[in-house]
Each structure stands twice: as structure tokens, then as C-alpha cells.
């Protein structure tokens, strides 16, 4: 190769090296920024409380799958179906769930939500549940706050539930529990806050 050709080849190699270094430098700057933005987006989803309605998908341009993985609280519309609820509510990070007034709630529906291992707060107020759901709920080890207002739950069922699962609080306003039974349970389980509207 002639001296001129060698010089030209050397310039090309040097230029290629400079471009490679520049490209790597740009990547080192851009990736942390992108990762930081992604982490911020994930954090927003983790802190998100959502209301699940029949047309919930139109609210989530990032995709329902992303919301499922990250959402921590959900309130489900009474018009929502059992099958659709299962798709959205098997969320590993869900800690708060409001199923008030949902007709589909029964022991089988709750058993299918076995993926909610971090759930701490659950409202079944106004649902058609009775003592049959309590053995299922007793297996939810993270559960701390339970709302059973206006349900068919009885004192006998609740007593057995509290014997198995020491929750922090349970609300039974309008349930099939008498004031005398509430008083007895408060004495038996003093560590549990048993709430009844209008009762001391």
C-alpha cells in the first residue's frame, strides 16, 4: 500500500474510533436518564389508586398489564363482572381492595383471588356474603382491616374467623351481629377493633 493509502486508512481508523467513543458516551448519558424516567413511571403506578369500571381499559394507555403489576389500591364498580375482575385483581402489589356492593363476591370468587398475598385492607360492605367467605379470608395472612358492613356474616362465624386470623380491625355495621355479641367479642378479642356504627 502506498504512503498516501496508509495515511488515509489511518485517518479512517482514527475517525471510526472517535465515533465509537462518542456513541458509547451518548449511551452512558441517555440510559440512566431513561432508566430514571422508567423508575419514576413505575413508582407512579405503584402509588396509584384506581377505580375499576366496565370500560376501565380506556383509562390506561400504558396497558392494563402494567397496571396489574404495579397498582396498590383498587375500587371495583358493582357493575363489573366476576371474570373481568379476576383479570385485573390478581395484582401482586395490591394492598387495598374495595368490593363494596359487588354482586359477584362469594367464597369461590375470593378464592380465585389467591394472588393477593399482600392485601391488607378489604371491603365487602353491601355484598351478598355470609360466614362462608370467612374461611377463605382466614388464609389471607396479610389482611389487617376488614369491612363486613351490611353482610350476612354472623357472630358465630366472625368469632371463629378472629380465632384464626387476628386482624387489626373489622367493621360489622348492619351485619347479623347483635350489640351483646359485639360486646362479647370485644372482651374475647381485645386486640381487635370491632367497629359498629352508633355503638361505643
pLDDT confidence of residue 131: 96
Specify the number of domains making up the chain.
Answer: 2
Q: Is residue 200 part of a domain?
A: no
Same domain flag for 70 and 160: yes
Q: Is residue 42 part of a domain?
A: yes
Per-residue pLDDT band for 8 (boundaries 50, 70, 90) equals: confident
Same domain flag for 97 and 22: no
Same domain flag for 143 and 89: yes
pLDDT confidence of residue 30: 62
The rounded percent of the chain whose pLDDT value lies above 70 is 61
Q: Looking at residues 190-194, what average pLDDT do you find? A: 95
Same domain flag for 14 and 87: no
pLDDT at residue 74 greater than cutoff 80: no
Per DSSP, the residues of the chain read: --HHHHHHHHHHHHHHHHHHHHHHHHHHHHHHHHHHHHHHHHHHHHT-EEEE-TTGGGG-TT-HHHHHHH--EEEE-TTS-HHHHHHHH--TT--EEE-TT-TT-SHHHHHTTTT-TT--EEE-TTSS-BGGGHHHHTT-TT--EEE-TTSB-BHHHHHHHHHH---SEEE-TTSB--HHHHHHHHHH-TTSEEE-TT--
Q: Is residue 112 part of a domain?
A: yes
Instruction: Give the predicted TM-score (pTM) of the model.
Output: 0.66
Q: Looking at residues 84-90, what average pLDDT do you find? A: 56
pLDDT confidence of residue 15: 75
Same domain flag for 151 and 161: yes
pLDDT confidence of residue 61: 38
Determine the structural domain holding residue 27 and report its residue range.
1-46
Amino acid at each position: 500500500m502506498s504512503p498516501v493509502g496508509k495515511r488515509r486508512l489511518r485517518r479512517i481508523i482514527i475517525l471510526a474510533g472517535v465515533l465509537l467513543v462518542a456513541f458509547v458516551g451518548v449511551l452512558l448519558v441517555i440510559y440512566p436518564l431513561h432508566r430514571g424516567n422508567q423508575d419514576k413511571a413505575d413508582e407512579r403506578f405503584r402509588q396509584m389508586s384506581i377505580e375499576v369500571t366496565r370500560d376501565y381499559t380506556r383509562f390506561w394507555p400504558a396497558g392494563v398489564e402494567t397496571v396489574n403489576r404495579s397498582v396498590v389500591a383498587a375500587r371495583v364498580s358493582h357493575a363489573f363482572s366476576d371474570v373481568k375482575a379476576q383479570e385485573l385483581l390478581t395484582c401482586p402489589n395490591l394492598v387495598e381492595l374495595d368490593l363494596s356492593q359487588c354482586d359477584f363476591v362469594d367464597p369461590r370468587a375470593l378464592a380465585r383471588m389467591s394472588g393477593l398475598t399482600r392485601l391488607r385492607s378489604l371491603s365487602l360492605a353491601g355484598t351478598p356474603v355470609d360466614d362462608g367467605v370467612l374461611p377463605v379470608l382466614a388464609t389471607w395472612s396479610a389482611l389487617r382491616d376488614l369491612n363486613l358492613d351490611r353482610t350476612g356474616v354472623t357472630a358465630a362465624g366472625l368469632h371463629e374467623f378472629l380465632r384464626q386470623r387476628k386482624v387489626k380491625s373489622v367493621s360489622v355495621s348492619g351485619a347479623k351481629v347483635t350489640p351483646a355479641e359485639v360486646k362479647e367479642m370485644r372482651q374475647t378479642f381485645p386486640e381487635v377493633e370491632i367497629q359498629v356504627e352508633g355503638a361505643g
